[in-house]
Structure 1
Amino acid sequence: MKFTEFGLDDSLIESIAATGYEEATPIQEKVIPIILKGHDLIASAQTGTGKTAAFLLPIIQRLLQHSNDGQVNGMVIVPTRELAIQISQNLEGMSYFTSISSIAIYGGNDGMNFSTEKQALSRGVDLVICTPGRMIAHLNMGYAKLDGLQFLVLDEADRMLDMGFHDDIMRIIGKLPAKRQTLLFSATMPEKIRQLSRKILHQPEEVNIAISKPPDKIVQEAYVVYDSQKQPMLEHILTNTQCKMILIFCSSKQNVKHLARDLKRAKFKIAEIHSDLEQNNREEVLMQFKSGRTPILVATDILSRGIDIDNIDLVINYDVPHDGEDYIHRIGRTARAESDGVAITFVNEKDQNRFAVIEQLLGSPVRKAMVPTELGPVPDYKPRARRGGGGGKFKNGKRQGGYHHHKGKSQKPHKPQQPQQPKQ
């Protein structure tokens, strides 16, 4: 279905056309008409399905038809600052030829930004993209003009609940008008999400476009190793690979710090990103990585969801992810757009059962690659969690079997160098 078939405003169509997009993704095709009709929505959709444009485009369309002056008209709540920035950038591109005003509100920046945020919330702005904690800080001061709010979006709701934001979300919602359109997007639908939806949604439509498995073009491999072999194995891969953009995931910020320190000592050009970094430092690290000036980035799961970085050749799970969904999100950072990619996971003895559960979710075993003989003997792959299906046993590396800132409406919109593509 083409975007021109949704009945969108000419200025909005012009903004979409400037990005080079013509055809809607499946979730956009299903969700946009529902939102345009004013229904509440609960949607299961992961990053990469086009979900950000699926909710932003119809909200922009409806705001072009009716916007409450002097009020905050719409709010998008997201789990991380990085995602708030990304959605805000996409919004600027999609609203480029319209009069829609917007602002991203998130913690970790300076007092001048807080003042700008306060001004937007007190004078009114069409769309706010925010993290829960920062919005609570503003709401506690009492100046946010929310009486005319028409739209509320919870993006990556499961992630927000996992991060402990349930109470903050309910506090924010308690300040909003009861009569509003609420849209909830979540990569997964556990019972806690169902419970939240029953509290905040009114007779919602439901859409399921979740990606349950990674794309076939991602080549997946695993190295079964002892914990002490993980770093030598990683250095062997980094030394011999032809990949130019490499993202390494660790399961904790302590592991990120230790690994980054050791890799720097080994003379690899790397950077690290985790929650202990100041926001301006995190943004600088991401910019250096995206531009290719830093070819290797060691990160926590803060980057596994919702961050749009193309051209990553190789994703390495230095630690096995906590569950299958996290695994899919992590390796989904590669093979984006039209490119291919490789995902490698190091599996030590204590993580074998967890990795076996991930293989069950995938529906087939991940190929176990050969560990270089100079690294010594490796453990057998003998997970107890596997139920049926061969994972194969590996010893000594051999298989042994089986297998925008705020834009006031009176202002001319700031022209970005290139309108952002409505990918997410």
Structure 2
Amino acid sequence: MKKKTAKSKPKRSKVDTTEKNMVVEENPDDNMDTSGSEPENNENPELQEAVEAESSDDAAEGPRDQGGFTILGEYKAREKKQVERVLPNWLRFPVLINNEERCQFSEVRNLDTSLVQKLKENGIETCSPVQWTVLPELLAQCTCGLYAGDAGFQPRDVCVSAPTGSGKTLTFVLPIIQALKDRVVPHVRALVILPVRDLAIQVFRVFQQYSEGTSLKVTLLAGKKDFHAEQMKLVKERPHADCSERWCSAADIVVATKGRLLDHIARTPGFDLTHLRFLVIDEADRQMEDVYDDWLTQVENAAYSPKPCAYSPYHRPKPCPLTVASSQSTVMHMQKLLFSATLSQNPEKLEQMNLHLPLLFAAVAPGAVGSLTDAQEISSADADKFSTPSLLKENFMDCKAAEKPLVLFHFVLNEQYKHVLCFTNSVESSHRLYLLAKQFDGMKVAEISSLLHTEKRERIIRKFERGEIQMLICSDMMTRGMDIDNVEYVISYDSPPYIETYIHRVGRTARANKPGTAITLLEGKEMYHFKKMLRESARWKKLKRISVNQKCLQPLVPRFSEALKVLPEILSEQRRQKKKS
């Protein structure tokens, strides 16, 4: 029996010893004295080092080698320092625009009296806070003439972030006209780039209005006329001149969309931009998104590269660092003026604009003016990144998808809302809603979209401004910069997908120091995204929830049901008409 016991007893191998050592190293506390004194057995110094390493707060994390073996180890959870967003100083410390400050145009420093008189003739005597703050800076850049900025150096580029309807257009129109009105030889010295044709036409008319009585010539490049007709407005041929100077400029100020401008740079002979002094980029945040087509680089290259056969081109070097040698000669550099209601503060996007010592003007967040003291540091935190007009009331309403048309028609028919601008997220949605509204008697409604010709859109807008149309249904093509008079209500039938879209929608009302109301209709699934979007932009607290009694909607249900039955027939008939045409 004893022999069997001896034989059945397993022998301890080297592998077993190895496993034992690994267990000991993974649990070093088992060999430590619980009384707090040091262990008596110090024969294994490597084991002692492992014990001290595990008990230390600064122990290495992850796998490590110990005594010829790899210990997997653990990863300790450590508090990570919050990464702070560091912006360039010109973005961190903007010049704040006080929305509560209003003065007369006659008090604006360096503004020409002839322009003040023209403003009075147009019924404008009080300048907005944006104009009062930015105009003196732009006018100061022209006190030394066109060829140099303030103190004779290269003028600083200017960025303006202010609410919609705050008078940004006049802010760049007046300084440009004042700077160019005494010119002798016509050259393209001011170029205004806009994202859409309708906005370009609107800015072109403002330039025409305030350049009247001067010798300045304003040209529109937006595709409203055919290409050859626009060329005739841009350049004139000198038949008896030398072939190297055959074409002379016929325009001083050019208002254009990007695509049309690039076509003329490539295809119009003698279209020279080397005399360009002002480059205005309106709705800059949207145009920054289109840098993929490299439009800005093409414009800058044209501004510093003389066009063949152009009369008297201006040979100037590209901007370089200021040195003693470069300051000895006076060079007329191009100044960039960026305007937007939602100007991006992304340094990477702004870097693509190649700005020179930029100066940022930003609207003050409501209530921030009174909280600032002289000892406080004025920073971008006090600026309202997504600013809206001060007299705007912002509301929202949650309702079911089937109730949204009824709620909209209730506002127009029962509440007698007038001058209503209704936004949807697509042209198709606008058209369907327009067809439904037409089936209701007593509602004067019209539709406007990118599918309509420019002249027809202008006729519809004029009727809306005169009050002949009660509600205008449109897609987001109307959100950018369009100045439509007498808009009292803005209703977002579809929830805006982005905060920038929301800001530009509600900015169509409460313009020029007039009151206005914005209402956003939200379905249940849209509430979370809309609420999160406005909270991240610090605007949620400014909105008020409204509701409509269901009893008020019941009388509209029969007519709405009939309209839904007729709608498929109307759509199918329109599709047949399109196929025939």
Fold conserved (TM > 0.5)? Answer: yes
The counterpart of 1:18, out of the listed 106, 109, 121, is 121
CA distance in 1, matches of 2:481, 2:501: 12
CA distance in 1, matches of 2:175, 2:183: 12
Aligned to 1:61: 178
CA distance in 2, matches of 1:83, 1:259: 25
Return 214-223 or 307-316, whichever deviates more: 214-223
SS in 2 for 1:125: coil
Aligned to 1:396: none
CA contact (8 A) 2:425 2:494 kept: yes
Question: In structure 2, do the counterparts of structure 1 residues 215 and 58 end up closer, same or farther at CA, with 3 Å as the change threshold?
Answer: closer
| 1:141 and 2:270 are equivalent in the alignment | no
| 1:6 and 2:109 are equivalent in the alignment | yes
How many Å apart are 1:65 and its aligned residue? 4.1
Question: Deviations along 1:56-95, whole A, 9 cap, x unmatched?
Answer: 111111112446x242111000111121121122222222
CA distance in 1, matches of 2:164, 2:280: 15
The counterpart of 1:209, out of the listed 329, 354, 363, is 363
Q: For CA contacts below 8 A with separation 6 or more, give which structure has more relative contact order.
A: 1
Aligned to 1:273: 448
Q: How does 1:160-171 map to 2 (within 5 A)?
A: 160-162=287-289, 167-171=294-298
SS in 2 for 1:175: helix
SS in 2 for 1:353: helix
Question: In structure 2, do the counterparts of structure 1 residues 287 and 169 end up closer, same or farther at CA, with 3 Å as the change threshold?
Answer: farther
| 1:255 and 2:429 are equivalent in the alignment | yes
CA distance in 1, matches of 2:133, 2:390: 24
How many Å apart are 1:124 and its aligned residue? 2.6
Question: Deviations along 1:195-228, whole A, 9 cap, x unmatched?
Answer: 3455432222221137644345433332211212
SS in 2 for 1:297: strand
Question: In structure 2, do the counterparts of structure 1 residues 219 and 330 end up closer, same or farther at CA, with 3 Å as the change threshold?
Answer: same
CA contact (8 A) 1:42 1:206 kept: yes
The counterpart of 2:495, out of the listed 320, 343, 358, is 320
Return 188-197 or 249-258, whichever deviates more: 188-197
CA distance in 1, matches of 2:353, 2:488: 42
Aligned to 1:43: 160
TM-score between both structures, scaled by the size of structure 2 = 0.59
Q: How does 1:21-420 map to 2 (within 5 A)?
A: 21-36=124-139, 37=141, 38=149, 39=155, 40-66=157-183, 69-107=185-223, 109-111=224-226, 114-122=227-235, 123-143=249-269, 144-162=271-289, 167-177=294-304, 178=318, 179-191=333-345, 195-197=349-351, 199-209=353-363, 212-215=386-389, 217-267=391-441, 268-360=443-535, 361-364=538-541, 366-374=543-551
How many Å apart are 1:229 and its aligned residue? 1.7
SS in 1 for 2:505: helix
CA distance in 2, matches of 1:152, 1:127: 10
Question: In structure 2, do the counterparts of structure 1 residues 271 and 74 end up closer, same or farther at CA, with 3 Å as the change threshold?
Answer: same
Taking only aligned residues, the RMSD between alpha carbons, in angstroms, comes to 2.5
CA contact (8 A) 2:341 2:504 kept: no
Question: In structure 2, do the counterparts of structure 1 residues 276 and 81 end up closer, same or farther at CA, with 3 Å as the change threshold?
Answer: same
CA distance in 1, matches of 2:355, 2:514: 38
Question: In structure 2, do the counterparts of structure 1 residues 137 and 93 end up closer, same or farther at CA, with 3 Å as the change threshold?
Answer: same
Return 342-351 or 17-26, whichever deviates more: 17-26
How many Å apart are 1:186 and its aligned residue? 2.4
Q: Which runs of 5+ in 2 are unaligned?
A: 1-102, 142-148, 150-154, 236-248, 305-317, 319-332, 365-383, 555-581
Question: In structure 2, do the counterparts of structure 1 residues 213 and 7 end up closer, same or farther at CA, with 3 Å as the change threshold?
Answer: closer
SS in 1 for 2:190: strand
CA contact (8 A) 2:411 2:417 kept: no
CA distance in 1, matches of 2:170, 2:187: 23
Question: Deviations along 1:166-207, whole A, 9 cap, x unmatched?
Answer: 633433333223431111122223355753455432222221
Structure label with greater radius of gyration: 2
SS in 2 for 1:140: helix
CA contact (8 A) 2:194 2:257 kept: yes
CA contact (8 A) 2:166 2:512 kept: no
How many Å apart are 1:299 and its aligned residue? 1.0
How many Å apart are 1:130 and its aligned residue? 1.0
CA distance in 2, matches of 1:163, 1:319: 25
How many Å apart are 1:301 and its aligned residue? 1.6
After TM superposition, where is structure 1 displaced by more than 6 Å over at least 4 residues in a row?
none
CA contact (8 A) 1:223 1:345 kept: yes
Matched letter for residue 170 of structure 1: T
Matched letter for residue 152 of structure 1: L
CA contact (8 A) 2:166 2:389 kept: no
CA distance in 2, matches of 1:147, 1:153: 16
SS in 2 for 1:72: coil
Matched letter for residue 26 of structure 1: P
How many Å apart are 1:343 and its aligned residue? 1.9
SS in 2 for 1:154: strand
SS in 1 for 2:438: helix
Aligned to 2:38: none
How many Å apart are 1:272 and its aligned residue? 1.3
CA contact (8 A) 2:424 2:430 kept: yes
Question: In structure 2, do the counterparts of structure 1 residues 239 and 175 end up closer, same or farther at CA, with 3 Å as the change threshold?
Answer: same
Question: In structure 2, do the counterparts of structure 1 residues 283 and 192 end up closer, same or farther at CA, with 3 Å as the change threshold?
Answer: farther
Identity level (%): 34
CA distance in 1, matches of 2:181, 2:456: 37
